[in-house]
A and B are shown apart, each in its own frame.
Chain A
């Protein structure tokens, strides 16, 4: 127990020594333009450039992903012996109730992350391996939980935890909303719909009205006039003959139709020959 306490104190001291150097001594979200930095079960972090400035051959950076509520529990369990931490909480069951609520996964050798080559284009996605089951695999986090991260610098040769960074800020993972909660009812009526509907309804009604007015004017007006005894137009009668002129006697072809040619005069000449009609009548000598 005493050696444990001393070692813990030493590691804390070494941490304090390095925090004053202007390093960002904790895992951070990637600053680049990514669409899904925080999803419901993954987080995209910056790669650990410039976190540990120590030179240490054979040292490897590991990441601890834990529920934010379990940060202190993890710290209190932290010894310098790496296998303790690495094997304590195997991934697939790590977040089940009554277990440790953290897992540890490898990020990369310290030599791969020199401060001078710091770049924001690269990233480390926690949860990249999905629902995996290998030892210390990079599995997905519990949906909607609050998680924090910590880097551990572990010497691969003698399996000692050389250094441990601070905990990152607590990151709240998104909870997935139920799509049934989306209200897909009618949102609003557009202006076009109101214009078209109203104008067309009025037009149809107007057309019907004009149609009836036309029928009234064309037919109702005429029946009124007939009842007053005057036809407004000539009567048409079926089956009668219309001819322009008709006479009772057939007198065509005669010059003086009403003269009687058998008339004989009494013989007295009361008038001279100049006054008598000249044609068609014989005068007898008395």
Chain B
């Protein structure tokens, strides 16, 4: 192969590695965002034992940063025109590729378990809201926050509290049909109309269900880790193929 083509290939490899390094760093940042859990919905997945979305985010933190470092090493190896360094680069990239595949697949599979339909979230809410255990406290705090912020009540609606028995009903069912966080509040946090809320007036309480909000947040986390991870992996696949061609042309 002529020296001109070799140089061209080297430049292409360097550019692709630079872009992959930037993409890896972005994956690192996005995965940190997911792991930090700004919406504070971790207990909903943690209590049921299905917190793989967050586990996948942790893996993506490491693989994203590893992609960044290895791609910089790849730029160096391409400049040196050294077969040994390029071989090391290819092997390390392949191992990181496998880990990132695992992260993307885990996140998107686990999302189906958690929020494919509203049953798991509903069952958890009925069992653990107002329960005295640590799980109960986590779930209660999470749901109180969700009901206030998203202005909703119950999973599919307030009817969940009426149709099913629950820990809450066993403790407070003679006075309150649903938690007071379902009620509309004034800006000083007092309940606007306690009587109206207890009887169920639509003007005094929230009537939509919280599942849509919970599902949208968890889906957002999942798409951040899995679809963006997928995009990075496709680009890295292409980069590795070009790097392999470059390797074959080196002497």
List chain A positions with a Cβ less than 8 A from chain B. 32-37, 39-42, 44, 123, 125, 130-131, 140, 174, 176-180, 182-184, 186-190, 192-193, 196-197, 199-201, 203-204, 206-208, 210-211, 214, 217-218, 233
With A42-B177, A176-B164, A196-B230 given, is the CB distance from A35 to B159 under 8 Å? yes
Partner of A184, one of B119, B173, B200: B119
B123 an interface residue at 8 Å Cβ cutoff?
yes
Chain B positions within 8 Å of A182 at CB level: 119, 122-123, 126, 164
Chain A positions within 8 Å of B126 at CB level: 179, 182
What are the 7 closest A-B residue pairs judged by CB atoms, nearest first?
Answer: A35-B200, A130-B174, A176-B165, A179-B126, A184-B120, A36-B200, A187-B116
Expressed in whole angstroms, the Cα–Cα distance for A183 and B90 within the complex equals 47
B55 an interface residue at 8 Å Cβ cutoff?
no
B67 an interface residue at 8 Å Cβ cutoff?
no
Partner of A177, one of B111, B163, B205: B163
Chain A positions within 8 Å of B165 at CB level: 176-179
Tally of contact residues, B, Cβ under 8 A: 56
Of the stretches B24-32, B39-47, B232-240, the one at the interface is B232-240
Indicate if the CB atoms of B116 and A214 lie closer than 8 Å: no
A43 to chain B, nearest CB (A): 11
Indicate if the CB atoms of A187 and B117 lie closer than 8 Å: yes
Chain A positions within 8 Å of B240 at CB level: 207, 210
Indicate if the CB atoms of A200 and B174 lie closer than 8 Å: no
B105 an interface residue at 8 Å Cβ cutoff?
yes
A211 to chain B, nearest CB (A): 7
A172 to chain B, nearest CB (A): 13
Indicate if the CB atoms of A39 and B162 lie closer than 8 Å: yes
Indicate if the CB atoms of B199 and A125 lie closer than 8 Å: yes
Closest to A233 in B: B251
Indicate if the CB atoms of A176 and B116 lie closer than 8 Å: no
Chain B positions within 8 Å of A180 at CB level: 123
Can you list 15 pairs linking A and B with CB atoms under 8 Å apart? A36-B158, A36-B178, A44-B199, A176-B163, A179-B126, A182-B122, A187-B112, A197-B105, A203-B233, A207-B240, A207-B241, A210-B240, A211-B90, A211-B94, A233-B251
B226 an interface residue at 8 Å Cβ cutoff?
yes
B70 an interface residue at 8 Å Cβ cutoff?
no
Given contacts A130-B174, A130-B175, A182-B119, could you give 13 more A-B pairs where the C-beta distance is less than 8 Å? A44-B199, A140-B174, A178-B165, A179-B123, A182-B164, A184-B48, A184-B120, A186-B113, A192-B227, A196-B108, A196-B227, A207-B241, A210-B241
B171 an interface residue at 8 Å Cβ cutoff?
no
Chain B positions within 8 Å of A179 at CB level: 122-123, 126-127, 164-166
B212 an interface residue at 8 Å Cβ cutoff?
no
B245 to chain A, nearest CB (A): 8
Partner of A200, one of B90, B101, B112: B101
B30 to chain A, nearest CB (A): 16
With A176-B169, A183-B119, A187-B119 given, is the CB distance from A203 to B234 under 8 Å? yes
Expressed in whole angstroms, the Cα–Cα distance for A192 and B157 within the complex equals 27
Expressed in whole angstroms, the Cα–Cα distance for A72 and B97 within the complex equals 78
Indicate if the CB atoms of B237 and A203 lie closer than 8 Å: yes
Chain A positions within 8 Å of B132 at CB level: none
Indicate if the CB atoms of A34 and B199 lie closer than 8 Å: yes
B63 an interface residue at 8 Å Cβ cutoff?
no
A198 to chain B, nearest CB (A): 10
With A200-B105, A208-B94 given, is the CB distance from A218 to B123 under 8 Å? no
Expressed in whole angstroms, the Cα–Cα distance for A120 and B223 within the complex equals 48
